[in-house]
Every structure is written in C-alpha cells, then in structure tokens.
Amino acid sequence: MKDKVILITGANKGIGKSLSLRFSKLGVNIVLLGRDEESLDALYDEITETSSAKPLIVKCDLNDLDSLGAKQIKDEIMNAYGKLDGVIHNAARLGKMSSIEDYEEDVWKEVFNTNFHSAFILSKELLPLLKIAPNGRIIFTSSGVAEVGKAYWGAYAASKFAVKGLAEIMRDELDSTTNIKVFNFDPGKTRTSMRASAYPAENPNDLKQPEELFEHYLWFFSEDSQLSVQHYFKFKN
C-alpha cells in the first residue's frame, strides 16, 4: 500500500476519518475531502505527526460539486501526486426522517447531490486516472435501506438505491475492459454521528467502532480482490 494515493470523501469524521488514519500509517497518501476546514486541518496534522504519508486537503461541499469542481479536484491530485489509485465514496447526508408526503424538495435535492450525484461526477472525472493505475479501485458505500424500501427513510434510502445501481453499471462497464474493480460495501451498524441521528434511542455501546471496518477496506485494495467476481459486500454485525 505504500505510496498509493486514495481519495476519501467525508474524510474528516466517522468511518472516513478512521480509514484516513489507518491507511496513512501504511504509507498511503490520502486525499482528504470534506467540507469542514477546521476538522480537515486537525486530521492533516494528526496524519503528518504519526506517519510518513503526505496527505492533501480538498475542501469541498459535495452538495455544490459540479463538473468544473471535479476537474479542479483531479488537477489538484495530479499536481500533488501525478496519479490516483482509488476512490472511497464515504460521505453521505441523512437528510430527514419523514414520509414522502412531508419531505421538502430542497432537502431531497441536497441529499441526492451529496450521496449520489457527487459520486457520479467524481467517478466520471477521475476514471482516466484510475484506468492508468495498476489496480484502480472505486468503493461505494451502501446501506441496509438500499436493499428493501423502508418507510420514512426518504431521500437517504432512495439515494442509496441509486448508488447501488451506479456501482453495478460501472462494474459491468469496467470489469472486463480495465484493471479497475468496483465494489459496493455496506458497513452495517457502526458507531457514527449519522447512526446516532437515525437511531437516537440506540445504545452506542452495542455498535462496532469504525476501526473494525479497516480490514475490509484493505482487502478491497489487495491483489486477492482483483480475482473477485463479487461486487456487493456487507459487514456481518
């Protein structure tokens, strides 16, 4: 993994932060994409103080990302590293737990922009870099509510259904024509701020820590995963 370059969206908290720290300790240069500058700066400092990795901060609100912004991100990566080995689409917004009848249109659009449209725009723009990587990887983040529609999960569930479709389409397009592997991973019940918002009555001590997911993500970047015919993976809680 040493000297690989991986972009992680939502890198400044939760699962994204945990992955950024753990991969950095293996010598991976992480492109830290997030919207909160203060927490990104703190994470950058922690990485540079505890590892030899050379992270790059990209401050970006994925709700506002367009093709020009994605090109600027690609240019920043090329200027800093000259390559890209993988993308982990981790960032997401929960939005509102509400019936469809009561769901506000602006919140719906914001959730879809962050969870789905930004993943499409970034993947599309970064594909040329991943195609020239020895073993490019794109990892989408799924959810149990993308398997069966559930009442009151609104835009979050619908956007995760869309992400599932995007991942399957890209896998079908890329699997036999490039070295890129596309995975869709459901991390399951994990102690994050989003989980706490969705399940406020749940005891957080009953949930696994984000650090417990690392070995799965590490496998996605391994040589063994190149032989995988599976696309969708789910953490067994």
Q: How big is the chain by its Cα radius of gyration, in Å?
A: 17
Token pair for 105: 């249109």
Domain ranges across the chain: 5-224
Architecture of domain 5-224: 3-Layer(aba) Sandwich (3.40)
* pLDDT number for residue 118: 97
Return the amino acid letter for 30: I
* pLDDT number for residue 237: 63
Give me the active site residues, please: 156
Q: Determine which helix (DSSP H) or strand (DSSP E) holds 183, and give its type and residue range.
A: strand 181-186
Low-confidence stretches of the chain (pLDDT < 50) are none
- List, in order, residues 6 or more apart from 8 with CB less than 8 Å away: 16, 19, 20, 30, 31, 32, 33, 87, 88, 90
d(CA 90, CA 15): 8
Distances (CA, A) of 71 to 13, 55, 75, 103: 24, 19, 6, 33
Q: Determine which helix (DSSP H) or strand (DSSP E) holds 209, and give its type and residue range.
A: none
* pLDDT number for residue 199: 78
Among residues 132, 135, 128, which one has the least CA distance to residue 227? 135
- List, in order, residues 6 or more apart from 227 with CB less than 8 Å away: none
* pLDDT number for residue 229: 79
